[in-house]
Structure 1
Amino acid sequence: MNQPESSKSLFLGGAAKATAASREKYVPRMGEESALEEVLVEDVAPVRISAFVGLLVAISSFTAAVAKPMLVLPVLAIALCLFALRKHDGRTKPVGTLAARIGLVLACLFGSTGFFVHHLKSRTLGNQAVYFARQYLELAARGEESLAIELQKTKPNRQVATMQLNEAYSQDESAMEQLENFRSGAYVDVKKAGLDTEWELDRRPRVFQKYGREKVDTYWRDPSGKFNGVIQVELEWSPAYEGEEADWHVSLFQVERELIVAPSVL
């Protein structure tokens, strides 16, 4: 019996779609017992490259405890590992999920360790800087000018402990110039406030790095009101090097000034 042309076209179109669907659904593969088998595409396990990249980044994130900028590595590793562990609609488990889980654990471990190491270091440096800055203010209030200037130098550049500083400064022209500059700064206000002034922190100390050097900014105010400004004492920490002990020195001693920013030119 002859079929209409329209029926034939519909039949052929349906057959073509079914053939294309079966080709998309099935992938040929060689089997051990039979020459050729057909396997569902859903049974093919996808490879998660992000899992292995995340694992490598997580391993390298141990450097987060060495340098603060390296804390970005565990954050990046966590993001990559979580992306690799995203949901999969297929029946077969993706390749790399185990590596992603291991990387996630390592990134969390190294990241948290690095964070607490830097937090404790900043807290320790801040507390030490506050103690030495308070001692420096008391030293300036007592009028120990020469000793205060020496404490602004690094330890290898200071005079020997047995030297009479006042006599040495009076005989050195450059030292006398340093002394005159020191007398015209914040030293005048601290000495005028008096030795009985109990300086208080105006704000929390700021721990930071500048050109690879550890520094702490401390700001002090006079609660009695004899001095209305704020004294800034910036200290720099020098780690132990070639047998020398770790040491602090005052890198900035001045009255805090408001920064004047020029208006932008449009």
Structure 2
Amino acid sequence: MVGIVEVSPRDGLQNERELLETGAKIELIERAVAAGVRRIEAVSFVHPKLVPAMADAEAVMEGLTRAPGVSYIGLVLNRRGFDRAVAAGVDEVNVVVPASDGFAKANQNSTTAALTEVAEEVLAEAAGRDLFASLTIATSFGCPFDGEVDPERVVEVARRGAAAGAKEIAIADTIGVGVPTQVRTLLDGVRAVAPEARMRAHFHNTRNTGFANAVAALEWGVDWLDSSNGGIGGCPFAPAATGNIATEDLVYLLHRMGHPTGLDLDALLPIAGFLSDALGYRVPALLPRAGAFG
């Protein structure tokens, strides 16, 4: 069974113009959990002035009714974020490193090499605390500043992350430019240098290739796929981005292909309406418009 990591409370909301109140974020998370989600990227511990949508991370974690068997994930970029995540009681941390220097410069005023060193420190600390930690390699498929990204850059970040203690490695199509042939190439490369790590993939549907990429990853044998309720989210450096692949649409696709996910599609569908009302526009997910079949 392929697992689904719900990312709407973090990657979905972080770039939205409408800043949701803490209570609305908690409701979103608890609705997703009620629909069967068992891993959810609930918050990120980043500088509140740089990402105002995530400024209430501690309050969200404190206000949640924690469901048994659910892993609440906190995204971190550095040791300070990691310490905040541990204090807030997350079940796992997700460390992000971009594979391209252009994105690293624009997003964090740094380089891939420098941010990999930071990630190594955080991953080692998490391993020492027996806290599950994943490494997401952003811009694995392409960069808005540097263009094409050499797969070897992705593989090298994965190699160093695995050596430092990453239990899971994700390739991320941050700006939605990837195609299925890239998916297979990158997953093969990462598996070669991180044979013990779980494999996860994160796709955006900016150019309508996100679901094709998800199927390619599924057929390759990936362990987990990221998706976002309503298909919300995106990158501030990807103009006209439509967002992450939608959880509802992905679940429908997987179920029709005979792959169980543990998620209840009937319970997922109303979340898109909740998000549309909260954000003030109709979210991109298509299944809530057309309805399920069969």
Structure label with greater radius of gyration: 1
TM-score computed with the length of structure 2 as normaliser: 0.19
Q: Which has the higher helix share?
A: 1
TM-score (norm 1): 0.20
Indicate the structure whose relative CO is greater, using CA pairs within 8 Å and at least 6 residues apart.
Answer: 2
